[in-house]
Amino acid sequence: MREARKGMLLVISGPSGAGKGTLYNRVLSADGSMTFSVSYTTRAPRPGEVEGRDYCFVTEEQFLEMLGKDGFLEHADVHGHMYGTPRQPVLDALEKGRSVMLDIDPQGALQVMEKMPGCVSVFILPPSFGELRRRLEGRGTETREEIERRLHNARGEVALKDRYQYLVVNDDLEVAYQTLQGIVNAEKQRSCRYFPVVEE
């Protein structure tokens, strides 16, 4: 069977604490054809975060310079910090037939959906706001004030869930992973990305 495939641009979003990172890291581990797009941010690294793997940590001045050169596919101000997806690496990877995964906040996700209408968008939901609070508190990386701000924002983000193509509730991690992986696998069968040749 001869066949060819084009890569997809996969946009994953959801409130802080919904468990996006754990989910998409499993998808990335399982799929060698998918690249993670590392965002730029002006916020400080959290304990354990690695420059160039989790984020490219830059100053506000550096961020604004890149923004001035139209260097971002999307950018947003979240919780008082700037975040952006560098444009060129994403376009280069797609051009080569690779898939690209973006982990971005809803502001950025809506920008990407508009600019890249062929993208696949998935919103990860927590089972409840109470559980979201427990996860954020358990993480122990944010101050009480930051947690309250994230919980407040989560309500606004969840209200926009229907702007995304797919919804996944992360209640049981294994079920949520299988569901997300299933969406990625199904999207690979789209006739706009999959080109099988029926031979003689």
Q: Which residues bind a copy of itself (CB under 8 A)?
A: 1, 3, 123, 125-130, 158, 161-169, 171, 179, 182-183, 185-187, 189-192, 194, 196, 198-200
Bridge partner residues of 197 (DSSP): 2
Task: Compute the distance between CA of residue 84 and CA of residue 67 in angstroms, rounded to an integer.
Answer: 9
Least distance between a copy of itself and beta carbon 187 (Å): 7
Q: In what helix (H) or strand (E) does residue 1 lie, and over which residues does it extend?
A: none
Q: With respect to a copy of itself, which residue has the nearer C-beta, 79 or 163? A: 163
**Two structure tokens written together for 52:** 């160039």
Q: At what angle do helices 129-139 and 144-159 cross, to 10 degrees?
A: 140
Minimal distance, residue 154 CB to a copy of itself, in Å? 9
Residue with Cβ nearer a copy of itself (39 or 179): 179
Helix (H, G, I), strand (E, B) or coil at 36: strand
Q: What's the burial of 104, exposed, middle or buried (CB within 10 Å: 0-12/13-18/19+)?
A: buried
Distances (CA, A) of 175 to 26, 120, 185: 12, 20, 15
**CB-nearer residue toward a copy of itself: 75 or 150:** 150
Strand 72-78 relative to strand 120-125, pairing:
unpaired
Q: How far is the CB of 98 from a copy of itself (least distance, A)?
A: 20
Q: Give whichever of 1 and 44 is closer to a copy of itself, judged by the CB atom.
A: 1
Minimum Å gap between C-beta 58 and a copy of itself is: 34
Q: Which is nearer to a copy of itself, 1 or 50 (CB)?
A: 1
To a copy of itself, the closest distance from the beta carbon of 95 in angstroms equals 21
